Amino acid sequence: MQGEKKIIPRKLSGFMELSPEKQIVFDNIQEKIKDVFNRNCFMPLDTPVLELAEILLAKSGGDLDKEIYHFDKGDTHIAMRYDLTVPLARFVAMNSETLSYPFKRYQIGKVYRGEKAQKGRFREFYQCDADIIGNEQLPVAADAECVNMLYEIFNKLNLEVVVNISNRNLLDGLIEEMGLTGQRNEILTALDKLDKIGEQNTKAMLQDLGLNDKNISALLNVCTLKGDSTKLLAKLSELSKNETYLKGVHELQELFTYLNAYGAKNCIINPGVIRGQNYYTGTIFEASMPSHPEFGAVGAGGRYDNLAQYFTDKKLPGVGMSIGLTRLFDLLDKNNMLPQEPKSNITLEIIPLGNTLPTCLGLATYFKEGGINTQVNYDERSFKAKLKAANTKQIPYVLIVGEDEVKNGTYALKDMLNGTQSTLSKEECLKTIKKDA
Amino acid sequence: MQGEKKIIPRKLSGFMELSPEKQIVFDNIQEKIKDVFNRNCFMPLDTPVLELAEILLAKSGGDLDKEIYHFDKGDTHIAMRYDLTVPLARFVAMNSETLSYPFKRYQIGKVYRGEKAQKGRFREFYQCDADIIGNEQLPVAADAECVNMLYEIFNKLNLEVVVNISNRNLLDGLIEEMGLTGQRNEILTALDKLDKIGEQNTKAMLQDLGLNDKNISALLNVCTLKGDSTKLLAKLSELSKNETYLKGVHELQELFTYLNAYGAKNCIINPGVIRGQNYYTGTIFEASMPSHPEFGAVGAGGRYDNLAQYFTDKKLPGVGMSIGLTRLFDLLDKNNMLPQEPKSNITLEIIPLGNTLPTCLGLATYFKEGGINTQVNYDERSFKAKLKAANTKQIPYVLIVGEDEVKNGTYALKDMLNGTQSTLSKEECLKTIKKDA
């Protein structure tokens, strides 16, 4: 192939591909999220990336969304999953008789959206989802479990967030009281823009929808409340006597009792939280970072009445939380907020001097069995070049194995951080390195 | 949606989807493989599932393989990766100037093959790949590193395998000596069938290719040798004076020196190992399970001269190993060879009695922070039903929290295995559970 025409190596745009050094950081974050899910006794699930198109399009009544990657293979119309919720619904509907409820599952996996590539948008990205599915009913304690877990995750990642919480019934109740239920979705869409376009523009949008000034100020009044849960709950409970509205207030009250019991911090009531998805029916929440409001929601979730309504008559209420890890990682990376990058995952590099490679390999087995990430540098470069490279890669320890060392059974262990070198048996080397790890 | 027409929930055939209980076992195996890769200082890489079709089809000169899932999105012809090697080649070619060599990377990810579904074949499956890429040259020590790692993985998984090892140069040299280089691929294909169709049928195939009896028996003689490396190497070195052939013998000699130094067990020379892929050029190896020869190769790999020849003029020799985890898991599952399935990942379940849910949530936080997988059972079922369910799920510990317990600050910890129950403070509970974990 030398000299022949080459294909230019390039990847698709909108697809994240990290350097191995950064991938270590990404994997560590993912591992921490997985740990929190497991610690909370959610069970893992790994559904296929590909589904029958009719399954993924069930929600839209079969209409093809431009964002969905789909294709025919033989007689089968196949689509790539665009979230982890529809596959969960399909899984639960298929296995509803054998699952034990409440069914708590997590899934960390890639999802696909073929939208126009733009800054900060990815066509392939990791979602980290956890949901609790009930059979017929599901108590508010499940909502608290999901909100608390979102808090725990960011706490574990050392990222300070505020979790803004509302309940869909608050605004639904007010809209019902105003006799505007027919315009519910348009009103919610307008209110959802409040943070972005400001109060005046939102007002104008609501006026365009034909709302009178009294209703507009009632809605904006509720949506701009924010703050300490105890005071706000008292205030909220006085604003309307509508039943749906008061159901929302009571659910929020119960939710905050549980969140306080868990010890979850930085959870506030914010009735201005709307969350786009129409399927949320109760608790809704999103986490944002006070230090970086421009990041928007870095995690979110909510309660839905009926997970699998397109697949089964069974009533399966649920509540879930989700983190878009690829986007979050990208934001942290661009703002230098990632934990310091390691240059490698090597703890010990063994460098043979002279004809000692076989001995070095045996030593590598010894140190690996001792739990140390070890590699033997069998490269043909000079000893000096190898030491320099180990330094650049910030490898903490280098073991130098010359022919004399092999005879004596003691080796030169170099601590690369402070530059000291000691002659030790392999057992002493292991002890020294482990003390440090 | 109640009562409306439902879409039948089903998944695509040929796609594995495990129950959450089995998924825990799968994830544990995957975690162990990842640990071995990290312990050996391979760096993680996570390339996209989708690539430009021209990249994935580079090898075939742009010809569309029926097995590849591909589709158009706008003006872009997109394909799903069918292995992790071509994406690695693309990555290395794109980043060849900034990588440090030898470049050791691992990737565990799903790949896609749209072939006809048949027993034991999957259209979506996990590959666990590790490769070492050199710049211009790469010593045989790298081959030993990959073979040894394959051994280490199966050792860690408690699965007894034999690693059958050969070198492509052995048969290439013999064929060269016979003046049959033009028919090389056909001859290798015939010899590759030896295990399946037996010596007589292979002989017939070679006769059909026009080979004379002397050449046929020389080839079959080498291919049926097997056994202890020292004796075999001595024997092999006497069978031909062809330079290519002797290169193969010498590389095998060096490889076994290193494998012995590592302490890798059950590695044998088997010149009958062919490995389908044409791109292997030196060491080739595959692991099989003596207790289950019908499983075929459960892991394999080899040396190739030029990883990225379709993308760059740079000479990048490599060696790699790969495990098809989905297929392996399926085989182990069907033969009852998986480690015993846990019924859940729950270590402690807290059951509230009376109005104690908030206290239980606070206790859950305490135990989770102490490293215990904990869940609170806020279900509306009776206490008896909850205890029974905990027993079915084989949850090791249940903490019963009644209103008196809340007053006293001591709780009833039930050891579900032996049925004993003790009244303890939360600190004592944590100590008891941790001792057991």
pLDDT digits (tens, 9 = 90+) for B117-134: 677 789 999 999 999 999
pLDDT score at A226: 83
A88 CB neighbour count, 10 Å cutoff:
22
Q: How far is B44 from chain A (nearest CA, A)?
A: 5
Check A7 against B40: CB less than 8 A apart.
no
Note if the bond before B48 is cis, omega within 30 degrees: no
Estimate the share of chain A in helix, then strand, then coil, as percent rounded to the nearest 5.
40, 20, 40
Count how many residues are written for chain A: 437
Note the maximum CA span of chain A. Answer: 93
pLDDT at B2 over 60: no
pLDDT in tens, A227-261: 788 899 999 999 999 999 999 999 999 999 999 99
pLDDT at A277 over 70: no
- Helix ranges (H only) for B167-319 are 168-177, 184-192, 194-208, 213-223, 229-236, 243-262
Cβ-Cβ contacts under 8 Å, B346 against chain A: 41
Check A393 against B100: CB less than 8 A apart.
yes
What CA–CA distance (Å, rounded) separates A120 from A266?
Answer: 26
> Mean pLDDT across the stretch A182-194?
93
pLDDT at A63 over 70: no
pLDDT score at A61: 65
**Both tokens of residue A317?**
């209420």
What CA–CA distance (Å, rounded) separates A384 from B200?
Answer: 58
> Mean pLDDT across the stretch B346-375?
97
**Testing the interface with A: which of B17, B60, B330 to mutate, by most A Cβ within 10 A?**
B17
- pTM for the whole structure: 0.96
Cβ-Cβ contacts under 8 Å, B91 against chain A: 9, 17
pLDDT at B59 over 80: no
Residue with the two structure tokens 């039943």 = A243
pLDDT score at A3: 53
Q: How far is A4 from chain B (nearest CA, A)?
A: 8
pLDDT at A169 over 70: yes
pLDDT score at A374: 98
**B268 or B118: whose pLDDT is higher?**
B268
pLDDT score at B117: 67
Closest-CA residue of B relative to A313 is B2
A170 CB neighbour count, 10 Å cutoff:
28
3-state secondary structure of B368: helix
**Both tokens of residue B256?**
């076994």
pLDDT at A422 over 80: yes
3-state secondary structure of A98: coil
| DSSP symbol at B289 | B
Share of chain A above pLDDT 70, in %: 97
Check B43 against A54: CB less than 8 A apart.
no
List of residues 6+ apart from B97 with CB closer than 8 A: none
List of residues 6+ apart from A286 with CB closer than 8 A: A163, A164, A273, A275, A297, A299, A300, A301
Check B39 against A139: CB less than 8 A apart.
no
List of residues 6+ apart from A422 with CB closer than 8 A: A412, A413, A415, A432
> Mean pLDDT across the stretch B404-428?
94
The band of A115, judged by pLDDT with boundaries at 50, 70 and 90, is confident
Q: Using CB atoms, which residue from A10, A312, A365 is nearest to B9? A: A312
Q: How far is CA B383 from CA A40, A348, A363, B349, B401, in A?
A: 21, 54, 56, 12, 11
The band of A437, judged by pLDDT with boundaries at 50, 70 and 90, is low
**HEC-encoded secondary structure of B49-84:** CEEEHHHHCCCCCCCCCCCCCEEEECCEEEEECCCC
User: Smallest Cα–Cα separation from A81: which of A107, A105, A102?
Assistant: A107
pLDDT at B306 over 70: yes
What CA–CA distance (Å, rounded) separates B32 from B256?
Answer: 26
pLDDT score at B3: 52
Closest-CA residue of B relative to A37 is B373
Average per-residue pLDDT for chain B: 94
Q: Using CB atoms, which residue from B52, B141, B344 is nearest to A41? A: B344
The band of A163, judged by pLDDT with boundaries at 50, 70 and 90, is very high
Check B376 against A141: CB less than 8 A apart.
yes
pLDDT in tens, A302-340: 999 888 999 999 999 999 999 999 999 999 999 999 988
pLDDT at A2 over 60: no
pLDDT score at B275: 86
Burial track B193-216 (b if 16+ CB lie within 10 A, e otherwise): ebbeeeeeebbebbeeeebeeebb
What CA–CA distance (Å, rounded) separates A425 from A431?
Answer: 10
pLDDT in tens, B389-407: 999 999 999 999 999 989 9
pLDDT score at A152: 98
pLDDT at B104 over 90: yes
The band of B63, judged by pLDDT with boundaries at 50, 70 and 90, is low
Check B51 against A142: CB less than 8 A apart.
no
pLDDT score at A264: 96
Could you tell me if B270 and B164 are in contact, meaning their C-beta atoms sit under 8 angstroms apart? yes
**HEC-encoded secondary structure of A166-179:** EEHHHHHHHHHHCC
pLDDT in tens, B324-355: 999 999 999 999 999 887 888 999 999 999 99
The band of B1, judged by pLDDT with boundaries at 50, 70 and 90, is very low
The band of A262, judged by pLDDT with boundaries at 50, 70 and 90, is very high
pLDDT at A34 over 80: yes
